[in-house]
Amino acid sequence: MAGGRRTDRISEKDLAVLEFIARYGVVPREVAAAWAGTARAATASRERRLRIEGLIEVGAGLGDSGRLLLATRSGLAAVGRSELRVSRPSAGAVRHESAVARVGVWLEAGGHRVLSERELLAAERVEGKRIYSVKTGERLHRPDLIVLGECPEAVEVELTPKAPRRLDVILRGWARAVVSGQYEGVRYLCPPVTLRLLQRALARTNLGERIAAEPMPVSVPEVADSPFSRS
């Protein structure tokens, strides 16, 4: 049930997309479509069904993000993800969260199993301790994403430059997490300007063997093993 109405029209495929949206919080329409491997008409129909049943909200995008999809409280419950909070992003956070969702699709398209920062936060609440967080100076910081494996890899989506001193502190914190075995490695994905600053910081701190800085993926590929690719 959602909003007192039956959800018979909602298919398992719709719920799979809804869970993807729930995991990432704010997802541009085109990113959800890429994850699902669906064309424009099928994407619009699915979005309409989820919206009518009160499982998602659709908001205006910022810049070139396109329309943005957010899972409602009913939507989180419908996919069994009530441990996640309803996303209420600020205008400043939308660009970053949208970029993280794009990177998540890119990683999953490469065959990786990925957890979002929202999922890490929920796991830390259940555990009662900051199992995924890393101390960077006086602060604790969770990665934007982790790639699961025998030892997880932390992934940071770095869109805006940081002051050199602060960046050095953060990088040393990540390096300690790698040395301690908390993470196998750390990968930064950045636009060109931020990438150059990261590369300089890694050279300055001599941490390039433990932390990688790479360009942001240009496009969002389809996820080949999506449960309903090209449906």
Digit-coded pLDDT (tens) for 195-231: 999 999 999 999 999 999 999 987 655 554 444 333 3
Q: Which long-range contacts does 42-45 make (Cβ < 8 Å, 24+ apart)?
A: 42/231
- Tell me what pLDDT residue 89 has: 75
Residue-level pLDDT at 63 = 62
pLDDT at 64: 61
Amino acid type, 68: L
In a 3-state reduction of DSSP, which class is residue 221? coil
Q: Is the pLDDT of residue 50 over 80?
A: yes
Tell me the residue type at 48.
R
Task: Please write the tens of the pLDDT for every residue from 129-188.
Answer: 999 999 988 889 999 999 999 999 999 999 998 999 999 999 999 999 999 999 999 999
Tokens 């030892």 appear where? Answer: 151
Residue 182 CA to residue 177 CA, distance in Å, equals 5
Out of 15-29, 59-73, 112-126, 148-162, pick the least confident. Answer: 59-73
Q: Which CATH number fits domain 12-85: 3.40.390.30, 2.40.50.100, 1.10.10.10, 1.10.357.20?
A: 1.10.10.10
Q: What is the pTM of this model?
A: 0.87
pLDDT digits (tens, 9 = 90+) for 5-37: 444 589 999 999 999 999 999 899 999 999 999
For the chain, domain boundaries = 12-85, 114-215
Alpha-carbon span 50 to 92, nearest angstrom:
26
Report the CATH number of the 114-215 domain: 3.40.1560
Q: Please report the pLDDT score of residue 40 as a whole number.
A: 86
202 burial level (CB within 10 Å; 0-12, 13-18, 19+)? buried
pLDDT tens by residue, 78-109: 999 999 999 987 777 888 888 999 999 999 98
